[in-house]
Amino acid sequence: MDILTEALGSMRTGSPASVRTTGHAPWGLRLPPVAGAGFHVVLSGACWLVPLRGARGSGAVRLDTGDVVFLRDGRGHILADHPSTPAQDENDCRFTPGSPLGTVTLGGDGPPTSLLCGNYHLDQSRPHPLVHQLPELVHLSTADGRHADLAAAVRLLRAELDQPRIGAAGIVPALIDSLLLYILRAWYEGQPPESAEGWAAALRDAAIAPALAALHADPAAPWTVEGLAARVGLSRAGFARRFTALVGEPPMAYLTRWRLTRAAQLLRESPASLATIAARTGYGSEYAFAKAFKRAYAQAPGAYRRASRGGPRPLDLAG
């Protein structure tokens, strides 16, 4: 069971929105907070990312060709050729008919920087801890052979965007969608084993990783702490301590979280009846399921389904 894919799938509420941005120095672009998570890929050139909060220049991060940035909570920020360059609001986003991307061009007549910017539609109301434990800003460099898989994805994106060919309208959105998995995999696999904590350690742990995989593979099974512990060859107490230390909550609490997360995903994406969803997520009755769901999501399953069927709010570059 691929826990990373499962966790992200449970949070996705739509396809990513993306924009090709070209800034000619001097240039600065102010991006307000967005729903979901933001990302940037530097296709060519270099620039700076400056957080909106705090003093100008404070916390600025230099981005070079091939760098990838993931903003976990979609927080506001500025992209600019230099931290001191005044920033303008995004107001020139246009989507070309038949193209998967819009385009933004701004700045003066200096050296250009080309980026792919966008948002991943992720439900942040109850984020999966695998995503929530990430740093607010994930900055990955693909220079010098680092993160080879992510670098290959960036090269493919650059090639399709620079020289669109037949099939590009289908290939580019699929690459952007897959990019999120490449980003998170690169970050988690890049954590040194000796200092990894939380989910970075749990996904590698010889006992906890298979226990998590089992819970994800069959959330409806009548799992117990004793049964999980026996499955991975640990005592009940030893397993519970190790699971709680790495995952951040006890085994049965995480199982309840995952059952309700899967239920919310099924309510958004499938026409299955409430009774069917209850059975598929380990609840003995529709009543028990509805009670647990309302306690976690502050609304009944039917109301949640009706609200979610409206789809994600259309986003431009600013969200």
What is the pLDDT at residue 44?
Answer: 95
User: pLDDT at residue 204 above 70?
Assistant: yes
**CATH entry, 3-189, from 3.30.43.10, 3.40.50.2000, 2.60.120.280, 1.10.30.50:** 2.60.120.280
Within 64-207, residue ranges assigned H as helices are: 129-132, 148-162, 168-189, 198-202
Ranges 56-65, 211-220, 277-286: which has the least confidence: 56-65
> What average pLDDT score do residues 145-159 get?
92
Burial class of residue 91 (count of CB atoms within 10 Å of its CB; 0-12, 13-18, 19+): exposed
Q: Evaluate the omega torsion of the peptide bond into residue 26 and state whether it is cis, within 30 degrees of 0.
A: yes
**Strand 17-24 versus strand 88-89 pairing type:** unpaired
CB-side neighbour CA atoms (13 Å) of 288? 10
Domain boundaries, the chain: 3-189, 199-308
Amino acid letter, 78? I
pLDDT in the model for residue 101: 73
Highest mean pLDDT pick, 56-60, 194-198, 215-219: 215-219
State the fold for domain 199-308: Arc Repressor Mutant, subunit A (1.10.10)
Position 58 pLDDT exceeds 80:
no
pLDDT in tens, 93-132: 554 555 557 788 899 999 999 999 989 999 888 899 999 9
Neighbours of 193 (CB within 10 A): 8
Least reliable range by pLDDT among 195-199, 245-249, 280-284: 195-199
Q: At 313, is the pLDDT very low, low, confident or very high (cuts 50, 70, 90)?
A: very low
- Residue 158 in tokens: 């650059």
Q: Supply the pLDDT for residue 102.
A: 76
Structure confidence at residue 125 (pLDDT) = 83
Q: How confident is the model at residue 18 (pLDDT cuts 50, 70, 90)?
A: confident
- Mean pLDDT within 44-64: 81
| Residue 318 pLDDT | 32
Lowest mean pLDDT among 83-87, 156-160, 294-298, 312-316: 312-316
Provide the pLDDT for residue 148: 94
What value does the mean pLDDT take over residues 24-34?
Answer: 93
Interval 72-92: pLDDT, tens = 999 999 999 999 999 988 765
Supply the mean pLDDT for the chain: 89
Percentage of the chain beyond pLDDT 90 is: 72
Is 56 a residue whose pLDDT tops 90?
no
The pLDDT value recorded for residue 312 is 42
Is a pLDDT exceeding 60 seen at residue 311? no
Q: What is the pLDDT of residue 91?
A: 66
Interval 259-295: pLDDT, tens: 999 999 999 999 999 999 999 999 999 999 999 999 9
Mean pLDDT to the nearest integer, 56-74: 87
